[in-house]
A and B are shown apart, each in its own frame.
Chain A
Amino acid sequence: MAATDAHPRLDAASKAAGESIYVADIELPNMAHAAVARSGYAHALIRSIDTSAAEQMPGVVGVFRASDLAAGLYGRAVRDIPVLAAEKVRFVGEPVVAVVAETRVQAEQAAALVEIDYEELPAATTATAAVASGAPLVHDAPWEYPGAFVKPEEGHNLQSLNTVGDKETVEAALAASAFVVDEVYRTQTQHQGYLEPHACIASWQEGRLHVWLASKSPYPLKGQICACLGIEPDQLVIEPITLGADFGGKGSPMDAPLCSELSRLTGRPVKLVLRYTEDLTATDSRHPSIFRVRMGADAEGHLTAVAYDVLLDGGAYGGYKPSPHVVVHGAVEPGCYRIPNFYVECRTAYTHTVPKGHMRSPGEPQQLFATESAMDELALKVGIDPVEMRKRNILVTGDTDAGGRQWLEYRSTETLNAALAAMEDHSHEVPEGWLFGRGIAAYGRTSVSFGSTTICLIPLPGERLRAEVSYVETGTGSHTMVRELIGRELDYSPDEIEVVQVSTDRLAYDFGAGGSRVTTVASYAIDAAVKAWRGRLSDEAVEVTIDESAAPPVGAFIIQIAEVAVDPVTGQLKVLEIISAVDVAEIINDKAHQMQIDGGVVMGYGYACLEDLMEDDGHVWASTLGEYKLPTSHDAPHLRTVLVPGGRGHGTANVKGIGESLTPPVAAAIANAVADATGTRVRRLPLTSEAIFDALAGTVS
């Protein structure tokens, strides 16, 4: 077993005791509070705005609209998001007017009195509707935004068109295949479900702007805010914060440009903390998707060709995605099988709905639900077992994937066998009259190490050491991991090491949490810092900046088996157990590692069975945590993990990322188990009792 003795998380006690100071808890002298009046229309012209009643309210410092701001547009890759809507609104929940007041409640009460006169316009509230010719335009010329990827000729209302592979060869191969599956799979909108809603404080002090944002990537944030406000990098400092979880949703500037402008306009620090309803209805949830999958096999069940025609609903703005291709990259990944002919055409649509952004393993839960369901459907056509179907096609060492990449090793067989052994190890009690089923899903994830990071080791009196890092502890244990590795290498006990995130003024750079890069990149940085520390001539601090983008191509397989029971009378689904076999190298802290596994599976279970923002007609209807169904501990299935040690990881620490590995295959494993139990395929998430009942009744496919 690769695991080491797990020391407690360094942030656990203060978080559990309620002592951690989050952005919402920070108080600055003379600070004012903001609230936002938001659009009630999916698409409308703003005819007039009357702020007189709001301005008369007690405690109001100022009421501001787009024309009061000097800021431009903001965004992570494409800059298409206005800080406040100017001539028109493009989604229900879009900020239009901001109120600054002495207290949060005063600001909210005044914001409720802002009167905005709209002229409602026809709206395109689904991706399918939006890309049809003649649909109302969300943006007149999206290709003109800075950082735009889409070109005018590529289609109607597109944030991007991404293609991989060659269409003609795939069409020919599909036509020549002995068996072909051609099905459409649909997924819903999922919210990240973090405990802490988006929160920001901005403060202009003596010509410099200080920002405290619930953000996972301070350095990219700095560039994004500078671009939006037209200020120089040395005018801006991003302050360290405690983050109440991220799950991918906290990578954008969000409310920082607005708070910055409100601070400039009022001459005071300004805080904005979203209510959870605002967070559910007006931030940056996971993209809903429509995947048409065509998958061909020869007579023996070997894949011949795979084609995806993907339509993602990107919402009203594309700026919440960091990819320069303005796509959630997981949607266009080639997967973990030998595919001789591969083609993806992925359109990300602008719609008059809440913008969509990144969430844990962006694009992959959607793609895995589609492709791993299709693998089972193809196995059925070929007439072989789903496990056998995967054995015949999964990448093994020496193979190259359909995107032309090759890992140093593919530990697919070991991982698959470990999952199967765990499955055979036990049985479940199934309620009388219920149907039992098992489903499998496979996922191969490249373990990346990209983008630079900086770390500084400082000697402290009393044989203690302080590690300053440039990345945020997002709740994953990423600061504890630093303490663990340094302690091990330099022979310090955990209580002799403190690990702190410092401001962007203090250290050079970090790319931010994302792509499960933090453990891998930080382990390289710590390795370099430890070498520098050992080579010092005096008792001085050492600081290293590394960029290991050329790290070796390694990855990990996840094989999941879901075991379910279905009540055929009501369609009720009980997920009895999810077995996860995880291909690992060395593990730095086994508790933190296991928490990433368990949390990842439960998040996938929520996506599969419960969570849905219920977008319809331009509205998010699941606008409270009563309606948005996050799984509780009572709902979560039994989880079983089988670690498959001995893999090749990154650096001398020999590690692989884990944070995003477990979520993507869950929904497909459960859907495949439901199909195994009932003989009926459900091709739409979430797998509610009613959806299963309808499928059993034959009313929908």
Chain B
Amino acid sequence: MKFLMMGKKWRLFLIALALSCAQAGSALAQQIRVVATWPALADITRQIGKELVNVESLATGVEDAHGVPMKPSFIPRLNRADVLVLIGLDDELSWLPALLEVASNPKILSGQPGYIDSSVGIPVAEPPTRLDRAEGDLHPKGNPHYLLDPVYTKITAQNIAHGLSRSFPQHQAVFEKNLKVYIAELDGWIVKWEKMAVPLRGVKFVEYHQEWVYFANRFGLKRIGAVEVKPGIEPTPNHIVSLVQQIKQDKAQVILYGAQNPRVPQQISNETGIKALRLYSSSGGRPETDSYIKWIDYTLRTLVQAVSQS
């Protein structure tokens, strides 16, 4: 009744508003809902899906891969997702399977078309030769930090494109076209990064946790040790003493840490003069690394700058 009593202009305005809301809602509803575990994967998925996908990342990029909080607020997002994109190689083992247990979404369970494991076909580094927890908190399937090698990211992008096509074959041509464009863009950047990384060749470094192997292999850095005694095992005083000696002996130039406690890297830096750098192993950890390409570019530039100053 009130509606009928309104002025003509107001009625037209409200009808237009309702129609535009409905249109926006239906456009959103038509988009493929993708949940990625990490921002780097979310960005790559956006490059391939473009306007066809609506992508959310669960982690923000600042978290330790082994310490992503198991937040119940992730569950509604997983429940609504058409597709789940994950790093794989048990990278998300400590938090994702338990969330999937209660997300009530069979579409994105392992083995289903909506479950995209980005690691398929990656030449995995450091597959353990001895599966025993005496070796620390091992990744039985090998090192999962392969996104730090932009060449392997082309494989990841292919996996995502194929995974999206598996669930939504009607958009396969678009995904394949966008994949080609993204890979061409990556190739362009890889040439630039190879040139940029020339000063890093042969540079000796120490890492907190074993997560830089792919980056080091690609750009020619040499890892001489880790702050952790073994993967996931915090350093003992003896280990720190021997690491300090090794850094001095080998003349290592940088110590890399991410979401770990900066106390020990700073302590080692003070004792040896080595440059301690906090660099996250995913995009999104800093405002200037909000895309995969920006993240690798920032990481390389920061490292080159640090090495040139040391």
Q: Do A and B bind each other?
A: no
B residues near A, CB below 8 A?
A: none
